[in-house]
Amino acid sequence: MRVSLFITCLVDMFKADVGKAMVEVLERQGCEVDLPKGQICCGQPSYNSGYLEDTKPAMKQMMKAFENADYVVSPSGSCAYMFKEYPEIFAGDPVWEPKAKALAAKTYEFTQFLVDVLKVEDVGASLHAKATYHPSCHMTRLLKVKDAPMKLLKHVDGLEFVPLPNALSCCGFGGTFSVKMSEISEQMVDEKVEHVEETGADVLIGGDCGCLMNIGGRMTRKGKPMKIMHIAEVLNSRD
């Protein structure tokens, strides 16, 4: 099975180890993985800020970059969902609507791809730690990926899982929201940090690097750092 990575801006620029972990997990499942070099930003930040027409060139570039992919897999539910919005954005366009629909149909978030497409729940990972999981908003509410991460974490040998209180509350990141509404965002992430601390966990796991950077950064600034891991890194662990 040939898988093309939609690596996302944050993983490309800040969290390369997440991309590496994802590749290694997929390869162990028998996938042939490639990284289309033509990919850029999916356009979500500018699109969500209201710059639709200015964002369309980036969206078209992404459709070109993944045109020949069999499956497109991303380590971010938020970015993967952006591809799902392309068909509505290009509705009525005789050239780009079919391309948008094709891209949306073959795009999956990482855990969603493992569980729903590869039909795998146990990837042979082991991590002896006490951990909790933050479900990101776009991944759970928009992309509707709720169960796949839990099914995979359940099979990680040695992992003691502790539910996160008020797990579905937003961490305050929200992309441009954290910049435009910084004071509100700060209060939201402080509440999230309090809930993470309540669990007594050693590790915070998540499926979106934006959320993890936001929560982890706030914990560090408050002098309460803890280990932060993307779920791809957990699934690639062998301790």
pLDDT tens digits for the chain (239 residues)? 999 999 999 999 999 999 999 999 999 999 999 999 999 999 999 999 999 999 999 999 999 999 999 999 999 999 999 999 999 999 999 999 999 999 999 999 999 999 999 999 999 999 999 999 999 999 999 999 999 999 999 999 999 999 999 999 999 998 788 878 889 999 999 999 999 999 999 999 999 999 999 999 999 999 988 999 999 999 999 98
What pLDDT, on the 0 to 100 scale, is given for residue 66? 98
The residue among 67, 192, 57 whose CA lies nearest residue 137 is: 192
The residue among 197, 210, 207, 199 whose CA lies nearest residue 229 is: 207
Q: Please enumerate in sequence order all residues whose Cβ is within 8 A of that of 73, keeping only pairs 6 or more positions apart, or say none.
A: 3, 4, 5, 6, 22, 26, 107, 108, 109, 110, 113
What pLDDT, on the 0 to 100 scale, is given for residue 181? 86
**Residue 108 β-bridge partners:** 73
**DSSP category for residue 170:** -
Burial (CB count within 10 angstroms: exposed 0-12, middle 13-18, buried 19+), residue 154: exposed
Q: Please enumerate in sequence order all residues whose Cβ is within 8 A of that of 139, keeping only pairs 6 or more positions apart, or say none.
A: 76, 77, 78, 81, 109, 145, 207, 208
Q: What distance in Å separates the CA atoms of residue 54 and residue 149, rounded to the nearest whole number? A: 35
Q: Please enumerate in sequence order all residues whose Cβ is within 8 A of that of 107, keeping only pairs 6 or more positions apart, or say none.
A: 6, 71, 72, 73, 74, 80, 83, 84
What pLDDT, on the 0 to 100 scale, is given for residue 178? 82
Structure tokens at 209: 């690097």
| Residues 72 and 103 sit within 8 Å (Cβ to Cβ) | yes
What pLDDT, on the 0 to 100 scale, is given for residue 26? 98
- pTM of this prediction? 0.95
What pLDDT, on the 0 to 100 scale, is given for residue 10? 95
Site of tokens 């996938």: 31
Inter-helix orientation angle 52-65/96-105, to 10° = 60
Q: What distance in Å separates the CA atoms of residue 14 and residue 16, rounded to the nearest whole number? A: 6
